[in-house]
Structure 1
Amino acid sequence: MNTDSLTTPGAPAREPSTWRPGVGVAALGGLVSIGLGLALAELLAVLGGRLSLTGAAASPLTSLGQSFIGLTPEWLKQFAISTFGQNDKVALTVGMGVTVAIAAAVIGIVARWRLTVAVVVAAALLVVAGIAILTRTGSGPVDLLPLVIGGVAGVALLITLFRRAGDPEAALTGEVHSGSGGRADRRRFLQWAGIGAAGAAVAGVAARFLPNSAQSAASRGSITLPTPTDVQQIASDVALDVPGLTPFVTDNANFYRVDTAFVVPQLTTQGWQLRIHGLVDREITLDFDALTGRPALQRMITLTCVSNPVGGDLAGNATWQGVRLADLLAEAGPQDGADCVLSTSVDGFTVTTPLAALTDGRDALLAYAMNGEPLPVEHGFPVRMVVPGLYGYVSATKWVVDLEVTKFADVSAYWTDRGWAAQAPIKTASRIDVPASFANLPVGTVTVAGVAWAQHRGVAKVQVRVDKGEWQDATLSGDVSVDTWRQWEWQWPADRGQHTIECRAIDGNGDAQAEQVVGTVPDGATGLDSRVVTVTV
């Protein structure tokens, strides 16, 4: 006997069981739907870039990340740099991923209650991503196509999932009434969720591993660097042999990187051009072959980031090869009244540099090689600026494509718009590398060593003191030029107890490093690096 057909006399007929996804399952549905949309959009953006149909702005995640960087308040940027250092972009990626995941889960939970509202929220998220795309440098309406296609796919899956969980006739009303039995609806929900998850995974993996940077890598690998006509001679005594001491030359892989590019621009030498214009007598446009065909210099120059805290590691020393900027500017013929060069990266980042710093005889370069090889992509390939004596945010434009000779009174740049100083010569600084903080040391002679820099003034002396005692002169490594750092070491006759070691540098003008503790904003930190150590028997 079929007991399901029995009813109690006078009682209403029983409706088939109704299944409604739980909160966790609904959140999963939102994650899968939004994940599919974004993954598909990313894949289409990569394919569009490979086919030259869309630009870098077409990536919704990259555009959102770049917009977040632009909108982040200065205190938060400095916190990220000081906390995560060169991994700040990784931290941003993780944070953005968590935020998007939470938003997607909320959309799924809302869809469990009212599908129409969830679709509106999802559409709003797409609008935000679309705005981020359109506000990026060089973007156009065609760059929205990957987002639109991916967004439609994601919203369609969202509707399919939560409509399948209820009555197909309910459409977007959000009412959940099962006319076909809860078990079948649950099965269809999970089937569609599985299909969507698989699609998102395939699209995401393809977008991640498609060689969208292959052209840039191939271009870099095909370069034969010209022989420099002016090579700086380096003496053999510039490096000290002290274990734990920072190497005199920073290799490319370990050279610090701090910039606003959420994703590293991918350029080729064939597609690169530099325009020099503005308050000049003659506008100049150069391609890569024309640049590398000019007389080249090879110089060792130390660069420093303005965000480097006292004792920080956002400084590096490398050998750069390139063309002297002063020669190019002389050909263009700066006009009277010009005092600034506004340089622009391919991603729209801008820098204002004093014209005098580019024309006063220092080795300011348009560099295309670093430590004997073409510039690494993350360090500005194919061409960047290298200007001794100035913090990077007012001099060291990577992926540079435009130089406008102008006046400080008429222009501002990315960081100066955010409260940083327009004039930012590098301050004298020194750092202790060994011993490490809170080290336990034996009684006897202890080597204290580190590096010091005072670009374009040079380091004349480094001194060390213990427990606020008298300053003692350290031994300096050989000197390359006023634009490079120097290593130093001091032999300390350590006695038992806890001690504080401090160091300071004195520049080529005879001025001692500032002892007053000042933060990085607006033009670089000051203060003395120190180490607290314990000496035991």
Structure 2
Amino acid sequence: MKAVRTSRRSAPSLRALPMLAGILAAGLVLGVAELVGAFFSTRSAPLIALGSTFIDFTPSWLKDFAIDTFGTNDKLALFVGMAVTIVFLAALLGLVAWRRWVLGVAGVLYMGAVMVAAVVSRAGATVLDAVPSVIGTLAGLAALRWMIQKLRAARPTAAEAADDDGAFSTADNPPERARTGVSRRGFFAAAGVTAVVAAATAAGGAVVSGIRNTVNVTRERLKFPAPASTAMPVPDGVDVDLDGVEPWVTPNKDFYRIDTALQVPTIDVDTWELRIHGMVEEEVRVTFQELLESDLIERHITLTCVSNPVGGDLAGNAKWLGYPIRELLKRARPTAGADMVLSTSTDGFSASTPLPILQDERDAILAVAMNDEPLPLEHGYPVRMVVPGLYGYVSATKWVVDLEVTRFADATAYWTDRGWAEEGPIKTQSRVEVPRAFAKVAPGTVRVGGTAWAQTRGIDRVEVQVDDGPWEEATLAAEYTVDTWRQWTHEVQLEPGSHRIRSRAYDPDGVQTEERADSVPDGASGWHTVQFSAE
């Protein structure tokens, strides 16, 4: 009988199978937790809790890098990074469990404890919210044990492994790996069942959550009363009508979103309530229906994120409907010594706003609608704060449920705890939007344009400089109010070749600063410069 030499190709695949078992077990942990969590509060989702905890402990420089690099896709980048990390750790735990089961169990339980800690540390979470993570961990551990046992049944003995490494075999005496094929098929059957159950539980949890969540349906059916004070008519000429310049009113779908919520909170308007307390003579509680029955006002207001780099797009202009915060503060009657309002979101985010700014005549509101429709879920439905003249990190709390009148000396907020300034007045800015960076335009007369803003102060003038030429005054679009941005255009003469254009804006206090500054701690500054070519 002709002898054949055995192959060694199966050995690496056997070592890879425990890693696959670990990954599938991790998928089951998350799938089961998702399904069980659908019957608990939204705070029980371990993946969201882990991501939120990661954000909370991420240093400011890394958050700034993520926003600068990924923009409004920063959360997607975080989820991708988390997925890669989970797969790596799960594969490692699978390998550890294969080699020494006790250590594998310890590793799985440790990761389960991390999930539980992340869940219960979220704002508003209770011990019961940890139940889905516990059940998911136990299910994953059981599945991992099942798959590892199947693998052990397929593992050859030491003598057989030596034969597999170098012995000859005959057709009447097949190599051991052929005889263990049945056992390996048992592992793949177990792995397949685990994968199917993981996918099914995850999908089931999503379906149950979707059935239970009627918030968006309620939102779409909301009807608002006519405002007691309507917005001024928008005059002709606020839009420069130059292709490439952002529209004067930012559509809701295009409005920038920067917040700390990995999962958009879903709040029932029938149970929403705002509490105003702290250093006040009278605690005030307001329901959503009471808010709608109040004298609402309608205003166009431009918002800007403090993370917006020079020339960035983290700014937007919208028409807001809401109730003046100063009117609620009048009812609460802040006591002497109070100088700050700490606003808190349902997901635990907080912002510290100077009390006098919420009491003056600027239109700081509790907004319920945006561009003639109920607030989008991701922009704070059912109620958010909108305060002209301040960066969002100290004023624009979404999903707001609590206003505590206090003092800067006694309380701090989410971003001020991380090194940002206590007060965040918006800096005067101008950006070049046409041409875009590295664009190619035809030589000759070229129309350029962009947008400038200085909320609560207004834009008086914009100047443009091409290469090292003189500063020339641009043509400003019509001004709506000092609380909204203002567009500008200018015609320049270009010779063929590479060019540089930059802009600067003037408010009533003078020209915006040329000094370059990063967004930390109180907003970026500097003149926006764009490189392009004429050819």
Instruction: Select which of 195, 203, 206 maps to 1:205.
Output: 203
Instruction: Tell me: CA distance 1:20–1:254, structure 2 relative to 1, closer, same or farther (3 Å).
Output: closer
Structure 1 residues 251-260 or 148-157, which shifts more? Answer: 148-157
- Is the counterpart of residue 75 in structure 1 residue 61 in structure 2? yes
SS of equivalent residue, structure 2 residue 113: helix
Query: Could you say which residue in structure 2 is the equivalent of 1:149?
Result: 135
Conserved 8 A contact 1:19-1:185: no
Alignment of 1:85-100 (within 5 A): 85-100=71-86
Q: Secondary structure at the match of 1:366?
A: strand
Residues 21/506 of structure 1: CA separation in 2 closer, same or farther (3 Å cut): same
What aligned pairs does 1:17-416 form with structure 2 within 5 A after superposition? 22-46=14-38, 48=39, 54-166=40-152, 182-210=180-208, 211=210, 214-233=213-232, 234-416=234-416
2:526 matched residue in structure 1: 527
Deviation at 1:164, TM superposition (A): 2.5
Corresponding residue SS for 1:106: helix
* 1:331, distance to aligned residue in structure 2 (A): 1.1
Q: Contact (CA 8 Å) 2:432, 2:528: kept in 1 or not?
A: yes
Secondary structure of the corresponding residue to residue 330 of structure 2: helix
How many angstroms apart in 2 are the aligned matches of 1:167 and 1:202?
Answer: 28
Gaps of 5+ in 2: 1-9, 155-175
Distance 1:259 1:213 in 2: 25
**Segments ≥4 residues shifted beyond 6 Å:** 18-21
Give the partner amino acid of 1:120.
Answer: A
Separation of aligned partners in 1, 2:55 and 2:518: 21
Q: CA deviation at 1:23?
A: 2.1
Query: Hey, what does 1:422 align to over in structure 2?
Result: 422
- Contact 1:41 1:150 (8 Å CA) reproduced: yes
C-alpha distance in 1, partners of 2:26/2:364?
A: 48
Residue 434 of structure 2 aligns with which residue?
434
Contact 1:21/1:112 (8 A) holds in 2? no
How far residue 262 of structure 1 moved from its aligned partner, in angstroms, is 1.1
Instruction: Tell me the amino acid that sits aligned with residue 281 of structure 1.
Output: E
1:505 Cα deviation after fit: 0.6
Give the residue type in structure 2 aligned to 1:82: D
Q: What amino acid is aligned across from residue 341 of structure 2 in structure 1?
A: V
- Of 292-301 and 137-146, deviating more is 137-146
1:189: how far off?
1.1
Give the whole-Å Cα distance in 1 for the aligned partners of 2:439 and 2:88.
Answer: 43
Change (3 A) 1:213 1:299: farther
Structure 2 counterpart SS, 1:230: coil
Report how far residue 480 of structure 1 moved.
1.0
SS at match of 1:231: coil
Gaps of 5+ in 1: 1-17, 49-53, 169-177
CA distance in 1, matches of 2:213, 2:371: 23
User: Deviation at 1:167?
Assistant: 5.6
**2:504 is equivalent to residue 518 of structure 1:** no
Letter in 1 for 2:409: A
In the TM superposition, residue 429 of structure 1 has moved relative to its aligned partner by 0.3
* Equivalent-residue separation in structure 2 for 1:440 and 1:303 (angstroms): 31
Percent identity, please.
Answer: 47
Measured at CA, do residues 209 and 432 of structure 1 come closer, stay the same or move farther in structure 2, by a change above 3 Å?
Answer: farther
Structure 2 equivalent of residue 173 of structure 1? none
The 1-side partners of 2:477 and 2:15 are apart by 66
Distance change (3 Å), C-alpha of 1:263 and 1:213: farther
Offset at 1:21? 6.8
Deviations 1:8-60 (A, max 9, x none): xxxxxxxxxx99971221111111111111111112112x1xxxxx2222111
User: More deviation in 109-118 or 375-384?
Assistant: 109-118
Distance 1:134 1:445 in 2: 62
Alpha-carbon shift at residue 468 of structure 1 (Å): 2.9
Contact (CA 8 Å) 1:321, 1:368: kept in 2 or not?
A: yes
Q: How many Å apart are 1:281 and its aligned residue?
A: 1.0
SS in 2 for 1:410: coil
CA–CA distance in 2 between the matches of 1:473 and 1:358? 36
Contact 2:153 2:183 in 1 (8 A): no
Q: Which residue identity does 2:55 align to in structure 1?
A: I
- TM-score, normalized by length of structure 2? 0.91
What amino acid maps onto 1:32 in structure 2?
Answer: L
Q: State the one-letter code of the partner of 1:470.
A: P
User: By how many angstroms is 1:205 displaced?
Assistant: 2.4
Name the CA shift for 1:164/1:20 in 2 (closer, same or farther; >3 Å): farther
